Structure formats: structure tokens, C-alpha cells
Amino acid sequence: MKRSPTFLITVLCFGFAFFYVPILSMIVYSFNNSRLATVWGGFSTKWYVSLLSNDAVINALVLSLKIALISATFATILGTMAGITLARFTKFRGRTLFSGLVVAPLIMPEVITGISMLIFFILMADWIGWPGQRGFTTITLAHITFSMVFVTTIINARMVQSDRAIEEAAMDLGSRPWQVMFDVTLPVISPAIVSGWLLAFTISLDDVVISAFTTGPGSTTLPLLIWSKVKLGVTPDINALATLMVLTVGVGVIAAGVILNRAEKRRLADERLAFRSND
Amino acid sequence: MSEGRFARWFDARGWPLLLIGAPYLWLVVLFLLPFLIVVGMSVATNTATAPPFSFGGEHPWINWDPFTRVVTDGLYLRAFLTSILNAFVAMIFCLLIGYPMALGLTRVSKSWRNILLMLVILPFWTSFLLRVYAWMGLMGKNSWFNGMLTDAWNFLVPLDWAVKSIPMMHTNFAVVLVMVYTYLPFMILPLYASLERLDPNLDEAAMDLGSRPYRVFLDVTLPQSVPGMVAGGMLVFIPAAGELVIPTLVGNASQPMIGKIIQDEFGQARDWPMASAVAVALLILMVVPTMIYSHYQAKAEGSK
């Protein structure tokens, strides 16, 4: 292994080119002056101008952000509860079914999740009169359901690593179970909760298939708007929209990664300090 | 007094019940119940009513026709075959590209490794739809990428075979290419995780005993990374086989994959039982790769 693995480095370079050239090409062509999306006709920012003055795009973005904020928050609460349950309650009736239920949505093909939700909502409307109309509420409910299991996975992985002794110490000192959770467990796993929320947020913001099945008249999320346009082909304004979305998410994820990394390092340092001062 | 008793009950029973019950109830009502409805729907009879299905009465309670059609009608069999073939070829290419990349990641310096790993994960966070869309721009007839490939092709082949542009869009080739592009991180990450754990001393021991580098790879590295390969392969195969977005945007409409069939049966044909039967058949097909995956996943984790 002392030798430089030339072959592997070459493959890595090609691999990363494969990952990023399509995205870079899309960004470059978003500044294309030509109406033909794939033929270069000089530099221009006109597609960004027309994008920002397009009401349909702005409305879809607002709807998507609303759904993503609400569904990520509920998904984080429910997913965290499920993650803690899986890690701390090793024996309860129905645990086998429960551990199956938090994995199944991860591997279920999106088409099937979408179609079963749609059939469910239609039949519920038929039987009990709810939901009267599909749209914001049904999309949000569907998003909570399939993004909470991602949060559960993250929280569970974090809980398994975390030191249970701290929780037991708090119990021994007389804290009640719910106090232990709010004062000890949740602060310890807070970085995982933040990453869970971010993941649920981006999953919701990005979803096409399940939204397409659970939406109703008048409720067009941004991915659904893009979906309906993209089916007709490549257009310069979608290039501009894609560029804005990719850059926002890229910058956001890198920033969140750096911040979470620092917080985690500080926490570990604090923990070490606390243990040392006990000696 | 009663407050104290309630507090004791809450600590011992109520609190765990709340913690377990809320997510449990949510998943049962909004995931399990809809899923069971689909399973039940797959043996219903399609009718012209609204909603378009019926059990009992003049119709049989259990109607196996949808399933009979799934296994006898060429339309469904071809769609299943196309799905499995596309997903399988995509999995193989992900393995061929992802393996050397994952191995390369374990060989670069620590500071580089963190940056490169983040670059592998970053596409996960950007929109899936837009990553598919990015390739539509590259594969189109007038794009620089297609132009470059066309020039290369025309340079390499005899004049008679020269083409104006390479027909890439709306082919199974395009579907596989975009699948490899979007699912490659699913292959790299588990492979990297299993390769990173390998003891470099084993490689050196094999080298010291006179093995050539490629023998070290074949005899030492490769066998130990089989669990990572299988786990990554299934992580690519399972979602790829049920894919709807990629084949709709870049695929050949006359060779639909199974996801599109389910959508069309439900939406255009309004045949809910048939759509459900195809969905259930797809899930049954997924059981085998899922079991392989969890078996090797447990193995990969056990070897820590």
C-alpha cells in the first residue's frame, strides 16, 4: 500500500467527474441566452429574471416549503419517539411488528406507497367523509409517514452508541422517566435530531412520486411543477430553477455539516472533561 | 393521594405507552392499513362503480383473475422482465464503477477522504428529479455531450456507420445510465464501510509471503468485501426495479417498467384490482433481494 494506487486515483477522478459534470453542465446552461436549451447562444441571466417573476413557481415553492416545514417537524417528533422506543424498550408486545413497520417504508417502492395512500384517502373520504379534498393535508400526512422512518433510523443509530449509564444515573438521582428524556436523552442526541429534521425536510421538498398520488386540484408543489414541465423536455428556465435549488441545498448541507460536526466535537470534549474532573 | 397514584401510573405505564403508542399508531393507520387495503384490493373485482371495485354479491369474494393475468399476460411479464433487466444491469455497472471508487477512498489521505466522502453523499441531498433532468440535457440530440460522443463514434467507425447524433434518449440504455448515476452512492457507501474495516496488515502479510498485488486483491481483499458488495447491490437493485421517475423521463415508452404499469392501471385504466395485483407481485419479487440484503447486512455489521 506504500505504492501510489494510480489506477484507483484515476477511477476516482472519472467517478467524481461522472457525479458532477451533469450538474455543472446544467448550471452553465442556465445562463444560456438561447431559447434552445442545449445550444449555447451567449451569456444571459434572463431565465432567472423570468423565473422570479413567475407566480406559479413562487406559489409552488411556498406550498412546498410549508409542507416540508410541517411534515419534517412532525416526522422528527414521531421518528425520534420511535427511535428511542426501538433502542430503549427491548421488550413490549408487538415489538416485532413495530420494528418491521419502521423499516418497510424505506424499501417499499414509492409507487406502491403512493398508490396505497391514494386508495386509502379515497376510501376514507367515501366511508367517513374525510379527507373532503386531497391537497395540502393529504400530501403532508403522506410525507410525515414516509420521512419519519428515516428519522427513526438516524435516531436509533445514535441511541445505540450513546451511553446508557448517564440516563441510569439520572434515574438513580430521582428523575422521573419523562424528565430523564427531556433533560438527558434528548440533549445528548440533539445533533442526530437536527440531522433527522434536515433529512426529513429535504425528502419532503424533493418528493415527486408520493406527492403526485396524494395531491389534489390546485395543490402543486415545486417538484410536481417541475415534473409536469420536465416531461415535455429540457427548458432553460428549469435549468435556472434547478441551479438555484442545487446551490441552495449544497450550501445549506455543507454549512449544516460543518456546524453539526463542531457541535459534536465540543460535546465530546465536554464529556471527556466531565469524566476527567470526576477522577 | 390520587395525584401520586397517577404519577406512579404515568411513570411506569403511561409514559412508555405514549412514547411507543404515538409512532406505532401513526404507522399502523397511515402505512399498514393502506398497504393491507391494497393487498385486499388485489383479489377484488373491477367494476364500473365509484370506487371501481367490489367484493361479493354477483362478484366472487376472492377473484384471482388479476393475479392470473399478471403471470399469463405478456404485457405484465415483459414489464417485469424489463424492470429486472434494467435494475440488474444498473447494479452490475454500479459495482464495476463503485468498487474501485470505494477502494480508492480507503487509500487516500484522511483529510482528502472526508472531503471526497462528502462529495459522494452531497448528491443525495440535491433533488433526485433534477439529477435525472441534468442527464436529459446531456443526452439530447444537440447537446455538447452527445456531440462529443458522436464525433468519437464517427472517428472510430467506418464512414458508412457514421451518424448525425447518437440516439440516447428514450432507450433502456438511458434508463440504465441514469440509474447508475443516481444510485451509485448507495453502492459506494456500504462498500467503503466494509473495505475500510479490513486490516491492512493482512495485505502486507500476503505481500511479504510473495503474492503479487492483483493476487492480494483477489485472495484477500475481494472475498472479505462480499457482504458489502451484496448489501450495496441490493440497495441499488431494490429501488431501481420499482423506479417510476427515470423510465418516465428518459425511458422507452413502448417498453414500460413495472412502476409505470401500476400507475397506468390505476390512473388511466381505472382498474384498481389489477394495479394492486401488479403491486403485490412486485413486492413478492422484492422479498428475495430484501432477505439477501438483510442477511448480508447483518453479516457486514457482525464482522466489525
Over residues B43-62, the pLDDT tens digits come to 999 988 888 888 887 888 88
pLDDT at position A235: 80
Give the type of residue at B179.
M
Please provide residue B144's backbone torsions phi and psi, each rounded to the nearest 5 degrees: -65, -35
The more confidently predicted of residues A163 and B17 is: B17
Residues of B with Cβ-Cβ distance to A18 under 8 angstroms: 97, 181, 184
Over residues B57-97, the pLDDT tens digits come to 788 888 999 999 999 999 999 999 999 999 999 999 999 99
Which domain, by its residues, includes A136?
Answer: 45-278
Report yes or no: B251 and B26 within 8 Å, Cβ to Cβ. Answer: no
pLDDT at position B279: 96
| pLDDT of B237 higher than 80 | yes
Confidence bin at A279 (pLDDT 50/70/90): low
Confidence bin at A268 (pLDDT 50/70/90): confident
| pLDDT of B11 higher than 90 | no
- Minimal C-alpha gap between B248 and chain A (Å): 8
- Minimal C-alpha gap between A264 and chain B (Å): 16
Q: Which residues contact B181 (CB under 8 A, 6 or more apart)?
A: A18, A19, A22, B131, B135
| CB hemisphere CA count around B244 (13 angstroms) | 22
Confidence bin at B229 (pLDDT 50/70/90): very high
DSSP string, B189-255: HHHHHHHHTS-HHHHHHHHHTT--HHHHIIIIIHHHTHHHHHHHHHHHHHHHHT--HHHHHHS-TTS
Confidence bin at A130 (pLDDT 50/70/90): confident
| pLDDT of B134 higher than 70 | yes
CB contact under 8 A, B137 and A239: yes
| pLDDT of A271 higher than 60 | yes
Average pLDDT over residues A65-79: 97
Q: Which CATH class is domain B72-302?
A: mainly alpha
Average pLDDT over residues A109-133: 92
Cell of A208: 415527486
Nearest to B100 among A11, A38, A118 (CB): A11
Over residues B94-111, the pLDDT tens digits come to 999 999 999 999 988 888
Please provide residue A208's backbone torsions phi and psi, each rounded to the nearest 5 degrees: -110, -55
pLDDT at position A2: 42
| pLDDT of B301 higher than 70 | no
As a whole number of angstroms, the distance between CA B228 and CA B158 comes to 43
A33: in domain: no
Nearest to B51 among A123, A177, A205 (CB): A123
Domain boundaries, chain B: 72-302
Q: Please report, rounded to a whole number, the percentage of residues in chain B having pLDDT higher than 90.
A: 52
Report yes or no: A26 and B134 within 8 Å, Cβ to Cβ. Answer: yes
Average pLDDT over residues A171-181: 90
| pLDDT of B261 higher than 60 | yes
Mean pLDDT, chain A, rounded, equals 89
pLDDT at position B1: 47
The more confidently predicted of residues A51 and A210 is: A210
pLDDT at position B255: 92
Mean pLDDT, chain B, rounded, equals 89
A76: in domain: yes
Q: Give the CATH number, domain containing residue A269.
A: 1.10.3720.10
A1: in domain: no
Count of domains for chain A: 1
Over residues B108-122, the pLDDT tens digits come to 888 888 889 988 988
- Minimal C-alpha gap between B131 and chain A (Å): 7
As a whole number of angstroms, the distance between CA B290 and CA A107 comes to 8
Least CA distance to B32: which residue of chain A? Answer: A101
A200: in domain: yes
- Minimal C-alpha gap between B160 and chain A (Å): 27
CB contact under 8 A, A226 and B130: yes
pLDDT at position A36: 74
pLDDT at position B263: 94
- Substitution target in A2, A12, A146 with the highest count of B β-carbons within 10 Å is A12
A35: in domain: no
Nearest to B97 among A15, A25, A85 (CB): A15
